[in-house]
Amino acid sequence: MHAENPITRRRFVSTTAALGAAGFLAAPSFARRPLGRGVDPLRVGIVGCGGRGTGALVQALRADEGSVLWAMGDVFADRIEPCLGHATEAMLDLAEETGETNWSGKIQVDASRRYSGFDAFQRVIDSGVDVVILTTPPAFRPEHLAACVKAGKHVFCEKPVAVDAPGVRSVLESARLAKQKKLSIMSGFCWRYQDQVREAFTKLQSGGIGDIHTLQTTYNTTGWVTPKVRKSDWSDTEFQVRNWHYFHPISGDHIVEQAVHAIDWIGWALGDGPPERCWAVGGRATRPDKPETGNVYDHFSITYEYPGGVRAYHMCRHWPNTASDNTGYFLGSKGKMTMRPWNGHHVIEGDTPWRGTAGGNDMYQREHDLLFKAIRTGEPHNDGVAMAHSTLLAIMGRMSAYTGQTVTWEQALASSENLNPDVWAFADRATPELAIPGRTKFV
Q: Are 9 and 40 in contact (CB under 8 A)?
A: no
Higher pLDDT residue, 155 or 100? Answer: 155
Percent of the chain at pLDDT exceeding 90: 87
Domains of the chain: 9-190 (3.40.50.720), 194-359+387-414 (3.30.360.10)
Query: pLDDT at position 3, please?
Result: 33
d(CA 276, CA 411): 10
Model confidence over 217-241: pLDDT tens digits? 999 999 999 999 999 999 999 999 9
Q: Are 372 and 63 in contact (CB under 8 A)?
A: yes
283 to 122, 313, 438: CA distances (angstroms): 37, 17, 13
Over residues 390-406, the mean pLDDT reads 98
Query: pLDDT at position 38, please?
Result: 65
* Residue 37 binned pLDDT confidence (cut-offs 50, 70, 90): low
Query: pLDDT at position 6, please?
Result: 34
Model confidence over 367-386: pLDDT tens digits? 999 999 999 999 999 999 99
Please report which helix (H) or strand (E) contains residue 204, including its range.
helix 195-205
Q: What is the mean pLDDT of the chain?
A: 92
Query: pLDDT at position 36, please?
Result: 53
Beta strands at 42-47 and 67-74: parallel, antiparallel or unpaired: parallel
Model confidence over 250-303: pLDDT tens digits? 999 999 999 999 999 999 999 999 999 999 999 999 999 999 999 999 999 999
C-alpha dihedral over 172, 173, 174, 179, to 10 degrees? 90
Query: pLDDT at position 9, please?
Result: 37
For the residues of 394-421, what is the DSSP string, one character each?
HHHHHHHHHHT--EEHHHHHH----S--
Beta strands at 354-355 and 345-350: parallel, antiparallel or unpaired: antiparallel
Helices (H) and strands (E) in the chain, counts: 14, 15
d(CA 441, CA 120): 35
Query: pLDDT at position 344, please?
Result: 79
Cβ neighbours around 87 below 10 Å, total: 24
Higher pLDDT residue, 98 or 150? Answer: 150
Q: Are 160 and 388 in contact (CB under 8 A)?
A: no
Q: Tell me, what DSSP letter sits at residue 285?
A: S
The strand order across the sheet containing 299-305 reads 354-355, 345-350, 335-340, 328-332, 212-221, 311-318, 299-305, 277-283, 407-408
Beta strands at 185-187 and 212-221: parallel, antiparallel or unpaired: unpaired
Model confidence over 176-201: pLDDT tens digits? 999 999 999 999 999 999 999 999 99
> Ramachandran region of residue 3, left (φ > 0), alpha (ψ -120 to 50) or beta?
alpha
How many residues can be counted in the chain?
A: 443
Query: pLDDT at position 101, please?
Result: 82
Find the radius of gyration of the CA atoms of the chain: 22
Query: pLDDT at position 163, please?
Result: 98
Query: pLDDT at position 357, please?
Result: 92
337 three-class SS: strand
* Residue 33 binned pLDDT confidence (cut-offs 50, 70, 90): low
Q: Are 72 and 44 in contact (CB under 8 A)?
A: no
Residue 28 clears pLDDT 80, i.e. is over it: no
d(CA 265, CA 204): 11
Model confidence over 315-372: pLDDT tens digits? 999 999 999 999 999 999 999 999 998 887 889 898 999 999 999 999 999 999 999 9
